[in-house]
Structure 1
Amino acid sequence: MLSLLDLSARIDAGRLTPEGAVGLVREAIASREPEVGALVCVDPAPAVPASGPLAGIAVGIKDIIDTADLPTRMGSSIYENWRPLADAPVVARLKRLGAVPLAKTTTTPFAFLDPTRTRNPSNPGHTPGGSSAGSAAAVAAGMLPLALGTQTGGSVIRPAAFCGVVGVKPSFRLLPTVGVKCYSWALDTLGLFAAGVADAAHALALLADRPAIARAGDGGAPRIGILRQEFCATPEPEAEAALARAAAAAERAGAAIRDLTLPAPFGEAFAAHGTIQDYEARQALAWEYAAHRDALPPRLRAALDEAQGIETAAYDAARRTAHHARRGLKDVFSENGFDVLLTYAAPGAAPAGLDHTGDSRFNRLWTLMGVPCVTLPVDRTEAGLPVGVQVIARFGDDGRALAAAGLIERALRG
């Protein structure tokens, strides 16, 4: 994989120019893209700034995020020829930092469940996950050092785990979702993919203009709660093994490890996620549903059909349940003395087949809670498929989540 920090260090040392760094990415795309299919389009002649903290860093932009220099097709034929007039603020921020938004990455249509054509770089017969399939696969295939995605259920954490890269879903609204096609305004969260934890921390700190995010590893060994999310169906054995291996590595590195079972209200909040998501999607995609229902893919069309029957009272009740759980999560951290939680990133390795994107059951609660989450690759199955874990911190404590993930990453390598 291409490391953002390695490329930047070579540029800073004069061993590589920003144009040369982009050229390396182009070579990687030419080599791997025919097999992986992670990209919608590539800018043939982008501006490459000569300076800036991300100068020479090519970035993949999920194709529901507006770009003035490239089409934004939402993964749908409805927007086949759509060309925004302006960059989304997060893209504009990348450009100010010197980065090069080089390619649009594949997304499931409107970031729902109908799969893309993208294949898992570790095994082309397995799903890369969704909905940020292209972003995760492009980084995993070594085609891009950084890519943006979004998460409404598990669309950053799950594909990162399936593809074997670091994925970060930051605290809710840490990064602006203006200029991003909305599915659920209470849940949609911008995230990113990178080769390693330090790369991801560096990129997030710059994007959010919060340098402390990349310096959060100075607080000593973390206190970690091991969470198995009993309100979800049991994971595959490889997910359990990865969680145990990550916990053991953290303990070797000095972390204090203790099991945690969440109180009942969190299971209720987990169940409420779908009501909130679908009620809001019904409104966010009201024009597409009314004017182009037959052009919507089957899973999305069926979900919107069913969402028409959700009553406002049920939505309001689900929001109250979520709010109660968010308040309770603060107590879970403080009363147990935990810095972070460690849990499954996905039910197991990427499933076989390209007709689905996998299960987000271990991600949905944390999207609803709005807290920062980091996927960390841990193992590979006998078939060579990656398996990851998920590190979770308090709302606004993104640096601590990344620092704990970095500690585990280093311990696993040691």
Structure 2
Amino acid sequence: MTPDLHRLSATDLARGLQSRSLSAEAVARACLARVAERDGELHAWVHVDEAQVLAQARALDQGPVRGLLHGLPIGVKDVFDTHDMPTQYGSPIYAGHRPSADAAPVALAREAGALMLGKTATTEFSTFQASPTRNPRNLKHTPGGSSSGSCAAVGDHMVPLAFGAQTAASIIRPAAYCGVVGYKPTHGLISGVGVKPLSHTLDTIGCVARTVDDVALFAAVLSGDKSLLDLPAIHSPLRIGLCKPHADKLLPETHAAFELAAKKLTAAGAKVVDVPLSPDHAQLTQAHIDIMAFETARALSDERLRHGDAISAGLRGVIDKGLQMDHAHYAAQLRYVEETRTTLPALYARCDVLLAPSAAGEAPLFESGTGDPTWCRLWTLLGLPCVHLPFTQGPLGLPVGLQAVGPLHSDRATLAASAWMLKQLTA
């Protein structure tokens, strides 16, 4: 067995698995060995059944090549239902819960030949109560949330791909803290059927990997959009807008990341301009908070009514706020979002893609929580495609990057721009 198979990208592994120069069992064993080596202190996983994984890997090796993800080990965030593994939603309410069916994205990945290595840790119902997962770059720090286990597992080379889901900042922020590529597609691009719902207006299914090509491969299968397999080359100068909402709250390392990005991308031929948000966008963060609270309070009604004592104090506060909110206010916030979407063409008139903060800066200490979601809320609310690009580090040596944010339904172009920018930024 090649000892470093677990360090290969998903696209490199896929080529070997498709050609049969690599076996699914060998790749699975390499990933399982990494989990055994590191997860005792990282706590990225809540369920791994080694015998089950190896049996499924051998079955893949003995049969025909199943599809684009044939033999690729994948981490499944523990809010995605799985028929053959427990799904506990990060809550003691669902300890030992065994769904009877796979979530749609899991089923689609299996159909394409993917191997589910196990369930990755998540915060409570994808909200704020931290999982036990630690940051793979420094165990004293948080990996972020809520896709904490997925981003930590990918960042620590335990799996090449993992599922994520974002309602506020749950893919982009932990990707930033763990130094991996996180992709939150346009809202609705990937089916969320069978994923524990929190907010139907906001919940977005996405994925985590170590390269842009890898998330594009995964998303092509999950969305059915095979054009994502062939990202267009960037020929004419890319127009990049630097956008810094809530700039006064950004830490020095993120300001430095903007300066480095502007310098490197300009040198590579891009046209880099500052693109401030208009006054129309001023209340988007609060609108996101309100809409999420109103919808979460109703999505978790059974848990609230039958298991209220097992809900954390933080989540209970969100639920209480949502229950107390007047429906007219909620409806007005939804109308405000729709009106704001009509201003987006003007926002992108001067640029093809925005570069915006993914987080305030480096990952905070574990005890301080999973980090501030402020810099992702507005893009999630607007439903725009976002890709976190890891390319530098802060004063503690922890990862720092920025997120590319594209226009609605421009996922292929946004991924292509992201791949080009990340190549320049890490050169």
1:107 equivalenced with 2:122 (yes/no) = yes
Q: How does 1:80-91 map to 2 (within 5 A)?
A: 80-91=95-106
Determine if contact 2:391/2:426 at 8 Å carries over to the other structure: no
Following the alignment from structure 2 to structure 1, what is the Cα–Cα distance between the partners of residues 31 and 320? 42
Give the unaligned 5+ runs of structure 2: 1-6
Shift of 1:20: 1.2
Give the distance between the partners of 2:79 and 2:363, measured in 1 at CA: 23
2:360 is the counterpart of 1:347: yes
| Alignment correspondent of 2:205 | 190
Contact 1:68 1:87 in 2 (8 A): yes
Structure 1 CA distance for aligned equivalents of residues 320 and 289 of structure 2: 14
**Alignment match of 1:226 (pick from 242, 247, 259):** 242
How far is 1:13 from its partner? 4.4
Contact 2:234/2:416 (CA < 8 Å) preserved in 1? no
1:75–1:107 contact (8 Å) kept in structure 2: yes
Deviation at 1:219, TM superposition (A): 4.3
Partner of 1:7: 13
Decide which of 165, 187, 208 is 1:172's aligned counterpart. Answer: 187
Q: For residues 267 and 43 of structure 2, what CA distance do their matches in structure 1 show?
A: 39
Query: What secondary structure sits across from 1:375 in the alignment?
Result: strand
Q: RMSD of the TM alignment (CA)?
A: 1.4
* Residues 204-283 of structure 1 mapped to structure 2, 5 A cutoff: 204-220=219-235, 221-230=237-246, 233-283=248-298
Give, in whole Å, the separation in 1 of the partners of 2:94 and 2:76. 16
* Structure 1 residue 288 displacement after superposition: 0.6
Equivalent residue for 1:134?
Answer: 149
Amino acid at match of 1:281: T
* Aligned residues of 2:234 and 2:420 also touching (Cα < 8 A): no
Counterpart position of 2:72: 57
Aligned pairs for 1:395-414 (under 5 A) are 395-414=408-427
Distance (whole Å) between structure 1 residues aligned to residue 262 and residue 355 of structure 2: 8
Cα 1:308/1:191, change in 2 over 3 Å: same
Q: Is the 8 A contact 2:253 2:395 kept in 1?
A: no
Instruction: Identify if the C-alpha distance between structure 1 residues 216 and 8 changes in structure 2 by more than 3 Å, giving closer, same or farther.
Output: closer
Deviation at 1:27, TM superposition (A): 1.1
Contact kept? 1:115, 1:354, Cα under 8 Å: no
TM-score, normalised to structure 1, is: 0.96
Instruction: Tell me whether 1:124 sits opposite 2:139 in the alignment.
Output: yes
Following superposition of structure 1 onto structure 2, how do residues 364-379 of structure 1 map, counting pairs within 5 Å?
Answer: 364-379=377-392
Are 2:191 and 2:223, in contact at CA under 8 Å, matched by a contact in 1?
A: no
TM-score normalised to the size of structure 2? 0.93
Question: In structure 2, how many angstroms separate the alpha carbons of the residues matched to 1:188 and 1:215?
Answer: 27
- Measure, in 2, the Cα distance between the counterparts of 1:58 and 1:345: 27
Kept in 2, the 8 Å contact 1:117–1:354? The answer is: no
Post-superposition CA distance 1:176-226 (Å, at most 9, x none)? 011011110100001110011111112112221212223233242321111
Following superposition, the deviation at residue 11 of structure 1 comes to 2.5
Which range moved further: 74-83 or 208-217?
208-217
Per mean C-alpha deviation after superposition, the further-off stretch among 172-181 and 11-20 is: 11-20
- Counting matched residue pairs gives 411
Q: Distance in 2 between matches of 1:306 and 1:341?
A: 33
Q: 1:16 aligns with which of 15, 22, 28?
A: 22
Residues 252 and 411, structure 1, Cα contact 8 Å, conserved in 2 = no
2:36 is aligned with 1:30: yes
Q: Who is 2:49 aligned against?
A: 43
Distance of 1:377 and 1:76 partners within structure 2: 30
Tell me the equivalent position of 2:170: 155
Worse-matched range after superposition: 189-198 or 48-57: 48-57
Query: Post-superposition shift, 1:367?
Result: 0.2
Report SS of the residue matched to 1:389: strand
User: Given residue 401 of structure 1, which amino acid in structure 2 is its aligned partner?
Assistant: T
In the TM superposition, structure 1's runs of 4+ consecutive aligned residues that sit over 6 Å from their partners are: none
Q: CA offsets per residue over residues 250-273 of structure 1, 9 Å max, x none?
A: 222221111111111111222211
Does the 8 A contact of 1:253 with 1:407 survive in 2?
no
Whichever residue aligns with residue 170 of structure 1, its letter is P
Q: Is the 8 A contact 1:343 1:390 kept in 2?
A: yes
Question: 1:229 is matched by which residue type in structure 2?
Answer: P
Match of 2:3 in 1: none
Match for 1:323 among 335, 338, 348? Answer: 338
- The alpha carbon displacement at 1:308 in A equals 1.6
SS at match of 2:177: helix
**Residues 351, 358 of structure 1: 8 Å contact kept:** yes
CA drift of 1:380 comes to 1.5
Runs of 5+ consecutive residues of structure 1 not aligned to the other structure: none
